[in-house]
Amino acid sequence: MKIEFEDVSIAGHFMIGPIVMVTSMDDEGEPNVFTNAWNTRIGYEKPITSIAVWEKNHSNKILRNNGDFVLNIPNIKLTKAVHYCGRHSGRDINKFEATGLTPLPAKKVRGVIIKECIVNIECKGIGMIDIPLIDHTLFLGEIVMTHVDRECYNEETGYLEFDKSDLLIEGSSYSYLKVGDEIALQELPRGVNVYFKDEYGQYDIKLPFESKK
């Protein structure tokens, strides 16, 4: 039996997502960082990612002016810094100094990466979308470089070692959850094509994990 809610805001309690620390740079060349859980990749052929940022945020103004940003993926060791950067504005304080996070120059975009994060994804700003019905701006970035901590990276699979990464996802009421065990579909051989049909026709889905052999 299911519980039903007419209050649509309840849905947000169950739409948990991966946490990133987004860095950008203001007009004066000062780095900014904020915590974001509303982010997703939106392209295969062209690696595009997007982040939704509240229109009244200080970070929204910076991104409008400068476009480029970096998605820095933290682990549980950075939980306090993640929470702090999500609850304080860079308009009033230098969050790098307050948290002890280390900004390092990005390689291909105007901005910085966070040394302590296990993954840093540099994104070249390519546009933004103001949606009239909501109070957030969707910022789009083309991924141009990725940095990964060697000890968390599996060179054979090309993915993170999840048991070593201790990734965070958004919980509820400013809580945070640790990503659990990886579930491997062992019954499906690597690199196979999976076909399925529905009312719209046949689709060809290629699994994202290909064997290097």
In the predicted model, what is the mean pLDDT of the chain?
82
Band of residue 182 on the pLDDT scale cut at 50, 70, 90: low
d(CA 213, CA 205): 21
Band of residue 202 on the pLDDT scale cut at 50, 70, 90: very low
The Cα-based distances of 16 to 7, 8, 175 in angstroms read 18, 15, 11
The Cα-based distances of 122 to 88, 98, 151 in angstroms read 23, 23, 20
Band of residue 4 on the pLDDT scale cut at 50, 70, 90: confident
Apex CA 17: angle with CA 16 and CA 19, to 5°? 125
Q: Per residue in 129-138, pLDDT tens?
A: 987 788 899 9
Pick the more confident residue, 31 or 184: 31
- pLDDT reading at 191 higher than 80: no
d(CA 75, CA 183): 19
- Single out the residue of 140, 91, 82, 89 nearest to residue 116, CA to CA: 82
Collapsing DSSP to helix, strand or coil, 95 comes out as helix
The pLDDT, as a whole number, for residue 212 is 41
- pLDDT reading at 116 higher than 90: yes
Q: Per residue in 54-102, pLDDT tens?
A: 988 899 999 999 999 999 999 989 999 999 998 888 888 999 999 999 9
The pLDDT, as a whole number, for residue 186 is 53
% of the chain beyond a pLDDT of 90: 45
Q: How many CA atoms lie within 13 A of 52 on its CB side?
A: 10
- pLDDT reading at 195 higher than 50: no
* Both tokens assigned to 149: 């901590």
Residue 179: partners with Cβ closer than 8 Å, 6 or more residues away: 162, 165, 166, 167, 168, 169
180 φ, ψ (degrees, to nearest 5): -85, -150
Residue 204: partners with Cβ closer than 8 Å, 6 or more residues away: 193, 195
Cβ-count burial 131-142 (b if 16+ within 10 Å, e if not): eeeeebbbbbbb
Structural domains of the chain in order of their starting residue, each with its CATH number: 8-182 (2.30.110.10)
Band of residue 42 on the pLDDT scale cut at 50, 70, 90: confident
d(CA 163, CA 118): 13
CB 66 within 8 A of CB 27: yes
